[in-house]
Structure 1
Amino acid sequence: MAEILRKAHVLNPTNPNKSTKLFGGKASGILNWNDIAYPHFYKHREQIRALFWRASEVDMTQDVKQFPELPERTKNAFLKIIGLLATLDGPQTRIAHAISQYATDPSVQSIMATIADQESEHNHSYAYVLSSVVSLAEQNESFETGRKDLVLLKRNQRIMDVYNTFVEKPTIENVLKTIVYTALLEGLFFYSGFAFFYNLARQQLMVGTSTMISYINREELQHGRFISELFRATLAENPHLNTEGFADWVYEQFRVSVELESEWSRYILAGIDGIDLVEMEGYVKYRANKMLRLMGLSEIYPEHTKNTMPWIEAYVDNFDGNKTDFFEQKSRQYTKTSDLNGFDEL
């Protein structure tokens, strides 16, 4: 029977400062970044923390003016996609905390605390966007999407099952499965929604929202990179789980997730000007290949090694240390508002 993990002690000076294992090991709880078991985790820590921002700093003035003029189909997609993103990002705050509770490496605990904080701001940003453009009743309806929309419920069922199983039965195998689904969220599940907002930005529409999404996207990319490293290191420490059967399970989750993401895309993006659904499905498969490579696994879509939506690279995959303008790709600073959502400029 699989061993149930205990929550890591907050402080135990009888243990060494450098952890003996990521999960199920020993560590004092004293974190010395200059002497950690996986030194490259420090680089991830610095990259993640370098991306601090707040939703209230993004100017929504033009979005407030433009949203009522959008086609009804686009407005409906906008609200449902915000509902989707909130459904995914809300639990990410808790699951990051849950993983950290069982991590016996204090560097992992620290990084997951930062990730949890950023996920909390992501969730807040969706409420901030909606409060800018629609009434409270419409905001609440958008946040009900994750509870009531049948396509979305089907799409999220496996996520719920894996996350809740880990909380109820915290074994090493369930930690690994939770990390796999965290990687899927950070690197795959958000991307049809992100593409919708970036497509609006291409048309110089809802640029405030798209700017905010790009900041979220930057953080999700860094989260995905760290989570992939955590997966590889945890699996290496537990070779009894590094089996063909477990690899097959991971590949199956990716295949099913790609199918569900593509189904969601057809459901929510059909009829949206500028979005090609065939290209979107190819892009989802391309993203799946990228995440599998990061996790040390093989690609499962050899025909999709190139980005089928190259225009999206202006917003997604070529981030460096600068925030860049959507249209001219020049380095820019945040446009901060002097009052909530920029309403003072209307």
Structure 2
Amino acid sequence: MQQLLYKVKTLKPRNPNRATHLFGGKASGILNWNDIKYPHWYKIYKRLLGNYWQSDEINMSSDVKQFPTLSKRDRDTFLKIISLLATFDSSQTRTILLTSLYATDPSVQAILAVIAQQEAVHNESYSSILSSIVPLNKQNEAFEIGRKDPILLKRNQKLMEIYNQVVDTPTIENIVRTLVYSTLLEGLFFYSGFAFFYHLARRNKMIGTSTMISYINRDELEHGRFISELIRATLAERTELNTVEFVNWIYTSYQEAVDLEIEWSNYVLGHVTGIDLDEMAGFIKCRANKMLRMMRLAEIYPAYTENPMKWIRAYVDNFDDTKTDFFEQKSRTYTKVSSLNGFDEL
């Protein structure tokens, strides 16, 4: 049985500033970015900071007018997906914060703190979207979906089991398992939801919402990249975990997650004209392959090395420069709200 980890002390001056291990090691708690174990992580930290944004920067005035014009089924889908995303980011904020408390390396603590803050912004943005388009009672009803919808509960069950294991039994193995499921959340679970909002946008509907989603998407790409690197680095340090059995567990977890994501996408997107469910399933498998490659693992869906949803590529395929799609390019010039615009347009 693995030894339980303890939450890292705030300062231990007799320990070195550079951590001996990422988790379960020794470190003073003093962060010197010029003397960290993985120097390139400072660039990741700076990229994360450069992505700072707030939901009230996005002009939602056109969405206010357009939401009532959507079909009832599209409105219902909109609310279900918002509930899914809010459920994920609510849990992710807490999980990332909890993981950071066990990280010996202060650079990991700092990066995870930024990620947790961004997840909190994401969660707040879903409330902001709903407050723009539906009254309070409808907003509250939407946030109830995440804990009542049977398909959604089935969809989230394994994720919550893994996340709660590290709460109850904080071992290094459970932390790495949590990080693996974080790559699933950041790199796979959001994407059928994102696709729906991008689909509305390409029909020139709900542009404010899609702009906000594109900011969230950009953040999640960075989160997934760092967490993948953190997994690889931790397994390199803790070779007792880096076993065939553990790698097979990762593959099994990804296959189960893909099946659940396809089931969810069929359920929530089945009626949406213009989204091909076979392409959606291929897109999900392509996302799984991409996240496995980021962990330097083999692809499990060899027929889906390329994204079959051609129109969505600008939003989700670019890890190094995600400000390439139309809405990202234009959002800072025409969708920011100030006291002088936005509300006058309602």
- Aligned residue in 2 for 1:143: 143
CA–CA separation in structure 1 for the residues paired with 2:331 and 2:179: 34
Q: TM-score, normalized by length of structure 2? A: 0.97
Equivalent residues of 1:56, 1:340 under 8 A apart: no
Change (3 A) 1:258 1:131: same
CA–CA separation in structure 2 for the residues paired with 1:295 and 1:340: 47
- Aligned residue in 1 for 2:37: 37
Q: TM-score, normalized by length of structure 1? A: 0.97
Deviation of 1:341 after TM superposition, in Å, equals 9.8
**Matched letter for residue 7 of structure 1:** K
Change (3 A) 1:232 1:325: closer
CA–CA separation in structure 2 for the residues paired with 1:267 and 1:224: 26
- Aligned residue in 1 for 2:132: 132
- Aligned residue in 2 for 1:176: 176
- Aligned residue in 1 for 2:303: 303
CA–CA separation in structure 1 for the residues paired with 2:55 and 2:340: 10
Change (3 A) 1:31 1:216: same
**Matched letter for residue 75 of structure 1:** R
Q: Give the alignment's Cα RMSD to 1 decimal.
A: 1.5
- Aligned residue in 2 for 1:207: 207
**Residue 234 in 1 paired to residue 234 in 2?**
yes
- Aligned residue in 1 for 2:154: 154
Within 5 Å, which residues of 2 pair with 1:75-86?
A: 75-86=75-86
CA–CA separation in structure 2 for the residues paired with 1:292 and 1:333: 33
- Aligned residue in 2 for 1:118: 118
- Aligned residue in 1 for 2:17: 17
- Please, which runs of 5 or more residues in structure 2 have no aligned partner? none
Deviations 1:104-144 (A, max 9, x none): 00000000000000000000000000000011111011101
Deviations 1:204-225 (A, max 9, x none): 0000000000000000000000
Deviation of 1:338 after TM superposition, in Å, equals 2.0
Deviation of 1:295 after TM superposition, in Å, equals 0.9
CA–CA separation in structure 2 for the residues paired with 1:320 and 1:297: 20
CA–CA separation in structure 1 for the residues paired with 2:131 and 2:203: 23
CA–CA separation in structure 2 for the residues paired with 1:22 and 1:61: 46
CA–CA separation in structure 2 for the residues paired with 1:224 and 1:59: 28
**Matched letter for residue 45 of structure 1:** Y
Change (3 A) 1:260 1:339: farther
- Aligned residue in 1 for 2:256: 256
Change (3 A) 1:321 1:294: closer
Give the secondary structure class of the aligned counterpart of 1:315: helix
- Aligned residue in 1 for 2:332: 333
Deviation of 1:323 after TM superposition, in Å, equals 3.8
Deviation of 1:344 after TM superposition, in Å, equals 2.9
**Matched letter for residue 207 of structure 1:** I
**Residue 198 in 1 paired to residue 198 in 2?**
yes
104-113 vs 331-340, greater mean Cα deviation = 331-340
Deviations 1:267-317 (A, max 9, x none): 000110211000000000000000000011110000100101011012222
Equivalent residues of 1:10, 1:29 under 8 A apart: yes
Equivalent residues of 1:261, 1:284 under 8 A apart: yes
- Aligned residue in 2 for 1:343: 343
**Matched letter for residue 204 of structure 1:** N
CA–CA separation in structure 1 for the residues paired with 2:338 and 2:41: 37
**Matched letter for residue 220 of structure 1:** E
**Matched letter for residue 54 of structure 2:** R
**Matched letter for residue 333 of structure 1:** R
CA–CA separation in structure 2 for the residues paired with 1:238 and 1:319: 28
CA–CA separation in structure 2 for the residues paired with 1:222 and 1:5: 27
Equivalent residues of 1:16, 1:28 under 8 A apart: yes
Give the secondary structure class of the aligned counterpart of 1:333: helix
Give the secondary structure class of the aligned counterpart of 2:146: helix
Deviation of 1:324 after TM superposition, in Å, equals 4.6
CA–CA separation in structure 1 for the residues paired with 2:167 and 2:232: 21
Deviations 1:86-120 (A, max 9, x none): 00001111111111000000000000000000000
Within 5 Å, which residues of 2 pair with 1:93-112?
A: 93-112=93-112
CA–CA separation in structure 2 for the residues paired with 1:183 and 1:107: 19
- Aligned residue in 2 for 1:67: 67
CA–CA separation in structure 1 for the residues paired with 2:19 and 2:287: 33
CA–CA separation in structure 2 for the residues paired with 1:321 and 1:262: 28
Equivalent residues of 1:58, 1:341 under 8 A apart: no
CA–CA separation in structure 2 for the residues paired with 1:22 and 1:214: 31
- Please, which runs of 5 or more residues in structure 1 have no aligned partner? none
Equivalent residues of 1:90, 1:119 under 8 A apart: yes
CA–CA separation in structure 2 for the residues paired with 1:239 and 1:207: 48
Q: How many residues align?
A: 345
